[in-house]
Chain A
Amino acid sequence: MLDNLSITEKQILERLKTIPDPEVEVNIVDLGLIYEIHHNEEEKSIHVVMTLSARGCPVGDTIMQHVETVVKAFLPEYDVKVELTWEPQWTPEMITPDGKAQLNM
């Protein structure tokens, strides 16, 4: 899902690592919540597809707003779309080794 990222997409991913999940205080990239990042230079658009660790997460909306703000701050001239998906459903296997280390898993 996050394979074959372009340089810009990788830079976006790095910036998204500054966003913590307020409950677990681990960043959303290492939690495995970011599924896809698409950078379209012609249309000047960025499309982020992400999920949440639980349906009904009380801060889900805020996390998504945070993603939009961070990407906009990095690339102000681009149109940013953050899409929420429940497919595939998030599971703990999606946490990166860094995230697992932070959670003492």
Chain B
Amino acid sequence: MQAGLSTKNAPSPSVVLPHYAAGAIFFIIASVLLIFASHDLANTYIGPKILALTHIMVLGWVTIIIFGALYQLIPVVMEVKLFSEPLAHISFYSMIIGTVLLSYSFWNNYIGKTIYMEIGGGLIFLSVILFSVNVLFSALKTTNKTIENTFIVTAGGWLLLTVSLGILITMNLVFHFIPKTNLELLRIHVHFGIVGWFMMLIIGVASTLLPMFFISHKLNKQYLKFSYFLTNGGLIILAVLLYFDVNMWLKGAAGLIVLAGIIFFIKYNYDAYKKRLRKKLDIGMKLSVFAFIPLFLTLLFGILTVLNLDFLSKIQTSINTAYGVSLIFGFFTALILGQMYKTLPFIVWLKMYQDKVGKFKIPMPAHIYSEKVADWHYYSFLVAIFTLLIGIFAKESIIIQVSAAAFIITSVLYAYNTYKILFHKDQSEPLETK
């Protein structure tokens, strides 16, 4: 069979599926913990509970699902086999245990002092190294060097840098070998993680998947190339300026370069949306399209965070918190909720039915989960994210608790559908003979 086909390259489902199963559980845990962190979130953007919650969300929920989805996607978009399945298994368990230990340590305010922090951080570092090795060595084999693939590989490099800096920060707490405060280093760590890892990866993956699912053609790839150079260039400049603490206007200018890069990415996908063949969006695409609203909010709050304007000083803490929240609980979460429906049903469907197509009557991928449940969690998610932002600006923990309740409903319904797909039983029937 010709090159360019993906299924033969696809990894064993046992590599991919546990990521979706674990991610759904971490999302429920984070939603429940949001109730207990509501008081902190109403008043500050940093603290033991917020650090724990952030790491459960970005590692346990977002990163684990992204890892799993990428193990499936890399062979598809790069047209190669995954470099190593055993490495992917070790990386998965290492990330799970590491995230639990690290978050436990943060929640109890044990920064840099406990065995949980050291082992947890070490395991996450190991997981990330194994993941990056897998991505980079898989990418080396590909002959399909597209700009989307370059984004994905570059993201792997930034992830390594992010985690390395995270480890340096915790070591610096004890040894003080970097003449900078940890808050200064933390800002660089956060921007490496947010822009370098997550944004870079999401630009690469979304620009591959969204036009494919919209069935859009004749898109201008120059937009993605501009996006690549602007986001990477802007991030490098921003990191240097943050390290030397140069005045806020220069930092703002670097932020604007990154912003311009992200706008080119949005433009590319907006064109895909406008040129789409499928006018009616299914639930997965509805959530994915909605994700761009919290992305706009993230960009707005991000610029205001960097500029730190005097006349906004009374609500500056809320702006900083809303920056992270609209990105992690808004943009990333909406995209994952949506793209789960565009990836997991296909993976399970292929595993169950690929040898039965044409020989038996089989359900379609869209029929192996409950669309009604997905619709419910679409609306509960809208309530959850907007209530959370209102609660942050109102500085009212009770409003954040209402949001947490909506997030719990969202995460449980999402988990219901995830597990319904994962435990799907063979529903093939004999073909009717005429």
Cα distance A57–B76 in the bound complex, in angstroms: 7
Chain B hits for A25, CB < 8 A? 364, 366
CB under 8 Å from chain B, chain A span 2-36 = 19-20, 22-25
How many Å from the CB of A89 to the closest CB on chain B?
8
Chain A hits for B366, CB < 8 A? 25
Q: Are A105 and B277 in contact (CB under 8 A)?
A: yes
Cα distance A93–B7 in the bound complex, in angstroms: 27
Q: Are A53 and B357 in contact (CB under 8 A)?
A: no
Q: Are B364 and A20 in contact (CB under 8 A)?
A: yes
Q: Are B6 and A22 in contact (CB under 8 A)?
A: no
Closest residue of chain B to A95 (Cβ to Cβ) is: B277
Given the known inter-chain contacts A61-B1, A69-B359, A104-B280, please indicate yes or no for A24 contacting B215, CB distance below 8 A.
yes
The answer to the question of B158 belonging to the interface, with a C-beta cut-off of 8 Å to chain A, is: no
Q: Are A57 and B215 in contact (CB under 8 A)?
A: no
Q: Are A84 and B2 in contact (CB under 8 A)?
A: yes
A interface bracket (residues with beta carbon within 8 Å of B): 20 to 34
Chain A hits for B279, CB < 8 A? 103-105
DSSP majority for the B interface?
Answer: loop
Q: Are A58 and B7 in contact (CB under 8 A)?
A: yes
Q: Are A66 and B5 in contact (CB under 8 A)?
A: no
CB under 8 Å from chain B, chain A span 37-89 = 53-62, 64-66, 69-70, 73, 83-86
Query: Number of residue pairs across A and B with beta carbons under 8 Å?
Result: 90
With beta carbons under 8 angstroms apart, the residue of A20, A22, A57, A85 that contacts B212 is: A57
Contacting chain A: which of B87-95, B193-201, B302-310, B346-354? B346-354
Given the known inter-chain contacts A55-B4, A61-B8, please indicate yes or no for A103 contacting B278, CB distance below 8 A.
yes
Given the known inter-chain contacts A70-B358, A103-B277, A105-B277, please indicate yes or no for A61 contacting B7, CB distance below 8 A.
yes
Q: Are B7 and A23 in contact (CB under 8 A)?
A: no
Chain B hits for A54, CB < 8 A? 211-212, 215
Chain B hits for A20, CB < 8 A? 364
The answer to the question of B365 belonging to the interface, with a C-beta cut-off of 8 Å to chain A, is: yes
DSSP majority for the A interface?
Answer: loop
With beta carbons under 8 angstroms apart, the residue of B217, B343, B346 that contacts A22 is: B346
The answer to the question of A91 belonging to the interface, with a C-beta cut-off of 8 Å to chain B, is: yes
How many Å from the CB of B10 to the closest CB on chain A?
8
CB under 8 Å from chain A, chain B span 218-266 = 218
Given the known inter-chain contacts A60-B7, A92-B215, please indicate yes or no for A84 contacting B1, CB distance below 8 A.
yes
- Residues 72-90 of chain B: 1 if any A CB is under 8 Å from the residue's CB, otherwise 0? 1000110100000000000
Chain A hits for B211, CB < 8 A? 54
With beta carbons under 8 angstroms apart, the residue of B8, B76, B350, B354 that contacts A56 is: B76
Given the known inter-chain contacts A58-B346, A60-B6, please indicate yes or no for A73 contacting B358, CB distance below 8 A.
yes
Cα distance A55–B209 in the bound complex, in angstroms: 11
Chain B hits for A57, CB < 8 A? 6, 212
CB under 8 Å from chain A, chain B span 1-41 = 1-2, 4-8, 10
- Residues 348-376 of chain B: 1 if any A CB is under 8 Å from the residue's CB, otherwise 0? 01100011011100001110000000000
How many Å from the CB of B58 to the closest CB on chain A?
26
Cα distance A57–B208 in the bound complex, in angstroms: 10
Given the known inter-chain contacts A22-B364, A24-B215, A91-B217, please indicate yes or no for A65 contacting B357, CB distance below 8 A.
yes
Which A residues contact B (CB, under 8 angstroms)? 19-20, 22-25, 53-62, 64-66, 69-70, 73, 83-86, 91-92, 95, 103-105
Q: Top 7 A-B pairs ranked by shortest CB distance?
A: A61-B7, A69-B358, A66-B357, A54-B212, A84-B2, A66-B358, A61-B5
Which B residues contact A (CB, under 8 angstroms)? 1-2, 4-8, 10, 72, 76-77, 79, 144, 208, 211-213, 215, 217-218, 277-280, 343, 346, 349-350, 354-355, 357-359, 364-366
